[in-house]
Amino acid sequence: MVSKNHINRGYHNWLGYNINDRFLEMHTRLYNGVLYDLGAGEAPYKDFFLGHVQQYIAVDWTDSLHDTMSDVVANLNQPLPIDSEVADTVVSLSVMEHLCEPQIMLNEAFRILKPGGNIILQVPWQWWIHEAPYDFFRYTPYGLKYLFEKAGFSDVVVEAQAGYFTTTILKWNYFTCRLIRGPEPLRWIIKACLLPCWYLGQKMAPILDRLDRNWALESCGYFVTAKRA
């Protein structure tokens, strides 16, 4: 696995993490030099990125709902306290939906990137509200391309994370996970009943996704890669 998070992953959502990991592994050619991780949180991908870049810099704010491992403390809704053209690579994973001013973050990512630098970003699309009240937006592929190009990026590529069946299974698993409540023995019984469904669903969903001829219509989220020319 790409990140250390896999040791703590719930049985209901490992497929989503695996999809993200495969995407990051597929794009190792884009990681170079000095990498800034915008909204890094606990920096779960630090060791992975350090296998491909010379320096990893975590950027996040102190009011995050997660423990943070920030090298630079900053509010991503505001101009960053970072010099221009210092980054070879910018990554931002499951962050932009939590920003009330996403265009500012993309503008700042463009500013701190060196010419020729790359940005790699992931956002959810059909996904439940999480980290409330800091959950503001969901983005279509067309909205993402518009925002990136408005910031000045070129070679913008938006890729669907998965198709209809993976999206549906993950949403169902998250829903049923919230049904686990009551006294601890009852919670264990409910979870034991759900585990086979969670496992089989996540094993079958990628196979069934082959029936979906347009993943972008029903995806759980999107990956974006782009360049500062």
DSSP 180-200: --SSHHHHHHHHHHHHHHHHH
In this structure, what token pair is assigned to residue 156? 């913008």
One domain for residues 86 and 58: yes
One domain for residues 31 and 57: yes
One domain for residues 143 and 70: yes
What is the number of other CB atoms lying within 10 angstroms of the CB of residue 12? Answer: 25
Q: 165-195: string of b/e by CB count within 10 Å (b at 16+)?
A: bbbbbbeebbebbeeeeeeeeeeeebbeebe
pLDDT of residue 7: 46
* Domain region containing 202: 165-209
- Number of structural domains in the chain: 2
One domain for residues 188 and 88: no
Q: What is the pTM of this model?
A: 0.92
Residue pair 157/225 in contact (Cβ under 8 Å)? The answer is: yes
One domain for residues 43 and 122: yes
One domain for residues 31 and 50: yes
pLDDT of residue 2: 67
One domain for residues 10 and 101: yes
One domain for residues 129 and 179: no
Residue pair 117/61 in contact (Cβ under 8 Å)? The answer is: no
One domain for residues 204 and 110: no
Using alpha carbons, list the distances in angstroms from residue 79 to 65, 92, 170: 21, 16, 35
The enclosing domain of 133 has a CATH number of: 3.40.50.150
Distance between CA atoms of 105 and 92, rounded to whole angstroms?
Answer: 10
One domain for residues 147 and 47: yes
Residue pair 222/139 in contact (Cβ under 8 Å)? The answer is: yes
Q: What is the mean pLDDT of each run of 10 residues along the chain (229 residues)?
A: 56 94 96 97 95 97 72 96 98 97 98 98 96 96 98 98 98 96 96 96 98 97 98
One domain for residues 194 and 177: yes
Distance between CA atoms of 87 and 90, rounded to whole angstroms?
Answer: 7
One domain for residues 199 and 127: no
pLDDT of residue 68: 72
pLDDT of residue 209: 98
pLDDT of residue 1: 53
